[in-house]
Structure 1
Amino acid sequence: MWATGEAYEPYVGRWSRLVADRFVRETAAPGGGRWLDVGCGTGAVTRAVLDLARPAAVVGVDPSRGYVDYARRHIVDRRARFVLADATRLPFPDATASVAVSGLVLNFVPDPARAAAELARVVVPGGRVGVYVWDYGQGGMEAIRAFWDAAVALDGEARTRDEGTRFPLCAPGPLGELLAGAGLEDVEVEEIRVPTAFADFDDYWTPFLGGQGPAPAYLSQLPGEHRAELRERLRAALPRAADGSIPLHARAWAARARRRAD
């Protein structure tokens, strides 16, 4: 499902960069630190850290070789490197990062509590941990919410594939509790809302054909006639501006905390 950076970028990557910039700015970590970006994907958070946080070094970690290769090709800053690894088994000693972050990943980790514990483990005492996820459950990720609403209207079984149903973590309470449960303190949760305007319907629809993520994976399995019916239902349901663009928004929930000082 998560393998091709070139397909991910037009689907969600272009919006994840907007959130990453806001998230890194508001994390407000001192310059010169060592950052760990867990579930780095195509490198949105790593790029934001390099551009905005004045780090000494950033290590991006992802289990997808395709995404790691993409990040290596597109981020050539000498302060950054990328490694293949799982969020629940980070290949780093205890207390080696100043800041550990994870963007748009924890919903897709089979054991998010274990991943949060790993984030807490690798930061130094007093170090910062930050995570954020799309709000699938409360309609905050409007582009994907519209897709599943249309899909479920045509096929009730699609409800079991809907991120809003599958991912209870994507709300303020559960996200904050995740970090507190990892033994972190001073937990804060905030909303990050960004515009996701599509130039036209093709700009909205075509990225769903790339196979990256639950909605595109579901779409790829539909018969051609069913797929066409879903496309036309979406075409009729989405809002349109006078110039034909589709003005939507996306909301992420971000949580930040601190490892207890020794």
Structure 2
Amino acid sequence: MARTGTGSDTWSSGERYEPYVGRWSRRVAERFVAWLDLPPGLRWLDVGCGTGALTEAVLLDAAPASVLGVDPSPGFLGHAAATVPDPRATFALGDARALPVADHSVDAVVSGLVLNFVPDPAAALAEFRRAARPGGTVAFYVWDYAGGMQMMRWFWDVAVELDPAAAAQHEGSRFALCRPDPLRDLAATAGLAGVDVTEIVVPTVFPDFDDYWTPFLSAQAPAPSYVASLDDGRRTALREALRDRLPTADDGTISLTARAWAVRGH
């Protein structure tokens, strides 16, 4: 799911996104589509489709008539088109605040792990409503950065302990929207009816420390961008502090969980 904003919030490479959070976002997408439980034959719009995780889940589990994935990143769109070769899916360059679709032209507007990165979330939801037919579904999910997205929570807690200045970049602090009450209020203020918020929790098991740490070297997204800003000594100190603190089993596996907050309305 591509993002725009500050340099640290820019995502452009699907190949680097997948080992970082793409592999976990796919699991959330599957459960999100199941939770929506919409009938077959609908026209779907996936806003901020990124690498195509949510689009693919809709195609596999919701029997749609069509899915249009919109994203501001050409790199992500190329990755999605290459990995989701289904004739019901099309992809287009676009912004969440100015969607390239006609009014009331789709039955369901969905978005995964995107809304907190949009500079004006309220404007994005207004666009979601514009695109959806009367009575259609508008739904989205975001990570629980402040608590339940454990791989990031562990990272930032250790980073801030070593470097208090890192608190300004901590996603749990920056994205205060990503909690149930603010999300519910945002959806209601946007005019959605029957707003419902639920948690989606998936396991994130890393076979060893390198599998956890290496994606943070991608220099893409807030936490990896912070790692890239460090000199060799500080980067090594952060790596070893994480190695010491993470809950590691005797066989080297690190078993964490990732929680997302999902919202739906009509």
TM-score normalised by L of structure 1:
0.97
Partner of 1:23: 32
CA shift, 1:241, in A, is: 1.6
1:87 maps to 96
Structure 2: state its 5+ residue gaps. Answer: 1-9
For the pair 1:186 / 2:188, whether they are aligned, the reply is: no
Q: Which residue is 1:143 aligned to?
A: 151
Match of 1:233 in 2: 241
Of stretches 10-19 and 174-183 in structure 1, the one that deviates more from structure 2 is 174-183
Query: How many angstroms apart in 1 are the aligned matches of 2:59 and 2:220?
Result: 26
What is the DSSP-based 3-state SS (H/G/I as helix, E as strand, rest coil) of the residue aligned with 1:241?
Answer: coil
Partner of 2:257: 249
Aligned equivalents of 2:178, 2:92: Cα separation in 1: 26
SS for the counterpart of 1:124 is: strand
Q: Secondary structure of the residue that 1:185 maps to in structure 2? A: coil
- In the TM superposition, what is the alpha-carbon distance from 1:104 to its structure 2 partner? 0.3
Residue identity (%): 59
Aligned ranges 1:115-134 → 2 under 5 Å: 115-134=124-143
Structure 1 partner of 2:73: 64
Q: How does 1:164-175 map to 2 (within 5 A)?
A: 164-175=172-183
Distance in 2 between the 1:44 and 1:22 partners? 12
- Taking the aligned partners of 1:209 and 1:231, their CA distance within structure 2 comes to 11
Matching of residues 2-13 of structure 1 within 5 Å:
2-13=11-22
Distance 1:9 1:160 in 2: 26
1:122-162 per-position Cα deviation (integer Å, ceiling 9, x unaligned): 0001100101000011x100000111011101111100001
Written as runs of structure 1 = structure 2, the 5 A alignment for 1:179-218 is: 179-218=187-226
Q: Distance in 2 between matches of 1:233 and 1:189?
A: 35
> 2:113, 2:183 → 1: CA distance?
12
- Residue 248 of structure 1 aligns to a residue in which SS? strand
Deviation at 1:53, TM superposition (A): 0.3
- What is the CA-CA distance between 1:212 and the residue it aligns to? 2.2
241-250 or 5-14: bigger deviation: 241-250
SS in 2 for 1:3: coil
Range moving further from structure 2, 168-177 or 49-58: 168-177
Q: How does 1:38-57 map to 2 (within 5 A)?
A: 38-57=47-66
Q: How far apart are residue 242 of structure 1 and its match? A: 2.5
Q: CA deviation at 1:12?
A: 0.1
CA positional deviation for 1:211: 1.8
Q: 2:165 corresponds to which residue?
A: 157
CA distance in 2 between partners of 1:211 and 1:78 (Å): 34
Deviation at 1:51, TM superposition (A): 0.1
2:7 corresponding residue in structure 1: none
**Deviation of residue 210 (structure 1)?**
0.9
| Normalised TM-score (structure 2) | 0.96
| 1:177 and 2:185 aligned | yes
Aligned-partner Cα distance in 2 for 1:239–1:124: 47
What CA distance in whole angstroms lies between the structure 2 residues aligned with 1:178 and 1:28? 23
**1:26 & 1:135 partners in 2: Cα distance?**
18
CA distance in 1, matches of 2:249, 2:65: 44
Amino acid at match of 1:254: A
How many residue pairs get aligned? The number is 257
* Cα distance in 2 for residues equivalent to 1:29 and 1:6: 31
**CA-CA distance at 1:121 after TM superposition:** 1.0
